[in-house]
């Protein structure tokens, strides 16, 4: 099933919690069935590929709190991590 994903990165200007993210891009990614992808590893691989195809380095993903998105993929840029 296709899921709408927002690609974000941390706002470097924020030095104390709560750390906020900035919107960079979005994409749709296939989420395999839970019985096939019990621990979410295949979904994370799909997110990694989607981010790399757009030039980003995948860090982690989480459920999105923003309307219109299912997940948020947090990425970093070369030299940041």
Contact call for residues 78 and 57 (beta carbons, < 8 A) = yes
pLDDT per residue as tens digits for the range 6-18: 999 999 899 898 8
Q: Give the model's pLDDT for residue 78.
A: 72
Q: Give the model's pLDDT for residue 77.
A: 75
pLDDT per residue as tens digits for the range 22-78: 999 999 999 999 999 989 999 999 999 999 999 999 999 999 999 999 999 999 977
Distance from C-alpha of 63 to C-alpha of 69, rounded to nearest angstrom: 9
pTM: 0.89
Q: What are phi and psi of 18, to 5 degrees?
A: -80, 135
Q: Give the model's pLDDT for residue 80.
A: 67
Note if the bond before 18 is cis, omega within 30 degrees. Answer: yes
Is 5 buried (19+), middle (13-18) or exposed (0-12) by CB count in 10 A?
A: buried
């Amino acid at each position: 099933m296709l899921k709408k994903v927002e690609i974000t990165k941390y706002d470097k200007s924020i030095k104390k919690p709560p750390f906020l993210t900035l919107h960079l891009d979005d994409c749709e990614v296939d989420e395999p069935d839970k019985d096939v992808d019990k621990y979410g590893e295949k979904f994370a691989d799909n997110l990694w590929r989607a981010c790399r195809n757009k030039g980003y380095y995948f860090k982690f993903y989480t459920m999105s709190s923003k309307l219109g998105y299912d997940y948020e993929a947090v990425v970093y840029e070369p030299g940041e991590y």
